[in-house]
Copies of this chain bind each other. A is one copy, B any other.
Amino acid sequence: MAAVSSQGMDLSLQFLLALAIVIVAAKGAGYLSTRLRQPAVLGELLAGLILGPTVLDMMHWPVFSDGYLEAILRQLAHLGVLFLMFIAGLEVDLKAMTSTGRPAVFAGIMGVFAPIALGMASAWPFGLGLQHGAFFGLVLAATSVSISAQTLMELGVLRTRVGMALLGAAVVDDVLVILLLSLFMALTGGGGGGALTILWVLAKMGLYFGLALWLGMRFIPRLGFLVSRLPISEGVMALATVTILLYAWTAEALGGVAAITGAFLAGLIFAQTPLRQQIETGFHGMAYAWLVPVFFVNIGLEANARALGLNGLLFALIIIVVAVLSKVLGCGIGAWIGGFTREEALRLGVGMASRGEVGLIVASVGMNAGLLGGDAFASVVLMVLATTLLTPILLRMLYPQAAHRPDWANVPTA
């Protein structure tokens, strides 16, 4: 429905136009990227960087004067990444994922501690002490596999040992980073509490994962069966949407885990039902027609690479190298110890190198707590962007023989 105030009506029009520009830019750039044998996601990210404050600064064009516009696009982007992680969860074969258990767990654990160690070491010359340095390392430890998952889907290799281990390791990474963050905040923050706080954080997380999986596995298949037979228009799609929203919400609000982890869990659960194919087809259209492109473009819209000074740029350059190396080495060695071949371990490590929303969330929590300066934050944003841009390129190089299979044929199975 049209908005109530005339200012709101303008907002509606601005929103329609901005959304159209974002989708056209994303799809056009994605197509060009594919033509250059790169994953479409790379082009979509670059489109965002060009539309954002770094180059064109679209959100400050005179037509887009409404301050609500950015907030609305951000929420749509958030929905987009939730749908993306849900689809990734749908793709997961639980047996395959648990069968990659050891490499995934080792890669997840070492992929957190290597960046913390290397981050501390590299922040030290810039005057960060032990506490601030350790926190800075923690910021570098948070991986985000949405980009890698998308790239592997495009390359048609998500359902391999490496792909499954990537998703498993990402869950381990997420849990560990959030645990350490809670630990850090409990130890340094005003909250106090110490051991009790840590126990409470652990209990909440354990309770969330346990309840979410148990309730989901127990009731969602039945609920899906029931809803698919009831006279509810698009009942199954609506059930899946609500499940994503509630799992994402409870993950962050109640379990203290990232919302995308909740969406991923929801996907895992629906993957076990006979409705999987139907849901995947429905969500794929909705997600990739507009919501996921909005997510990728919005990353660039929120980053301003121009705002960094020379010192910041140097710092950013160093942490980009540290970020990539620490993940490739940490996760790679972890996976190798866990039983992967060297080639598999390298692919997994590179896949884990991309950072995203969790890193930014950790960084913003740290900034609020005075553990991270504003320029360090800007460098982190640049690092997220750089790893996000690099990972698809590097992954593509590590799968030279993978028939680049642009997924215009719809559902990325096989």
Interface string of A388-414 (1 = CB under 8 A from B): 000000000000000000111110111
CA distance A289 to B234 in the complex (A): 5
CA distance A235 to B367 in the complex (A): 33
- Kindly identify which residue among B4, B237, B258, B412 contacts A233, using a CB–CB cutoff of 8 Å: B412
Q: A230-B31, A253-B13 are in contact. Are A78 and B259 (CB under 8 A)?
A: no
A308 at the interface (CB under 8 A from B): no
Q: A282-B285, A368-B9 are in contact. Are A78 and B1 (CB under 8 A)?
A: yes
Q: Which of A7-55 contact B (CB under 8 A)?
A: 8-9, 11-13, 15-17, 19-20, 23-24, 27, 30-31, 34-35, 40
Is the Cβ of A414 less than 8 Å from the Cβ of B27? no
Using CB atoms, name the residue of chain B closest to A384.
B1
Is the Cβ of B30 less than 8 Å from the Cβ of A289? no
CA distance A15 to B408 in the complex (A): 31
Q: Which of A326-352 contact B (CB under 8 A)?
A: none
A75 at the interface (CB under 8 A from B): yes
Is the Cβ of B413 less than 8 Å from the Cβ of A233? yes
Contacts of A360 in B (CB 8 A): 1-2, 4
CA distance A242 to B17 in the complex (A): 9
Is the Cβ of A234 less than 8 Å from the Cβ of B284? yes
A364 at the interface (CB under 8 A from B): yes
Is the Cβ of B234 less than 8 Å from the Cβ of A285? yes
Contacts of A75 in B (CB 8 A): 3, 11-12, 15, 72
A310 at the interface (CB under 8 A from B): no
Is the Cβ of A71 less than 8 Å from the Cβ of B361? no
A231 at the interface (CB under 8 A from B): yes
- Kindly identify which residue among B4, B31, B238 contacts A368, using a CB–CB cutoff of 8 Å: B4
Interface string of A224-264 (1 = CB under 8 A from B): 00000011111101101110011011001100001100000
A132 at the interface (CB under 8 A from B): no
Interface string of A44-85 (1 = CB under 8 A from B): 000000000000000000000000100110110110011000
A356 at the interface (CB under 8 A from B): yes
CA distance A299 to B253 in the complex (A): 28
Q: Shortest Cβ distance from A107 into chain B, in angstroms?
A: 24
Q: A31-B232, A230-B408, A238-B27 are in contact. Are A71 and B13 (CB under 8 A)?
A: no
A357 at the interface (CB under 8 A from B): yes
CA distance A359 to B336 in the complex (A): 65
Interface string of A92-108 (1 = CB under 8 A from B): 00000000000000000
Q: Which of A279-323 contact B (CB under 8 A)?
A: 282, 284-290, 293, 295, 298-299, 302
Q: Shortest Cβ distance from A103 into chain B, in angstroms?
A: 29
Contacts of A3 in B (CB 8 A): 71, 74-75, 78, 368
Contacts of A78 in B (CB 8 A): 1-3, 12, 15
Contacts of A9 in B (CB 8 A): 252, 361, 364, 368
Is the Cβ of B364 less than 8 Å from the Cβ of A6? yes
Interface of A with B (CB < 8 Å)? 1-6, 8-9, 11-13, 15-17, 19-20, 23-24, 27, 30-31, 34-35, 40, 68, 71-72, 74-75, 77-78, 81-82, 230-235, 237-238, 240-242, 245-246, 248-249, 252-253, 258-259, 282, 284-290, 293, 295, 298-299, 302, 356-357, 360-361, 364-365, 367-369, 406-410, 412-414
A-B contact pairs, 21 of them (CB 8 A): A1-B77, A1-B357, A2-B360, A3-B75, A9-B252, A9-B368, A11-B71, A13-B252, A15-B75, A15-B78, A17-B249, A27-B242, A68-B71, A68-B72, A233-B413, A234-B285, A235-B408, A237-B285, A240-B289, A282-B286, A282-B289
Known A-B contacts: A2-B364, A12-B259, A234-B285. Give 19 more (CB < 8 A): A1-B302, A1-B364, A2-B361, A2-B365, A3-B368, A6-B364, A16-B249, A20-B246, A24-B242, A27-B235, A27-B238, A31-B231, A35-B231, A231-B406, A233-B288, A233-B408, A233-B413, A233-B414, A234-B408
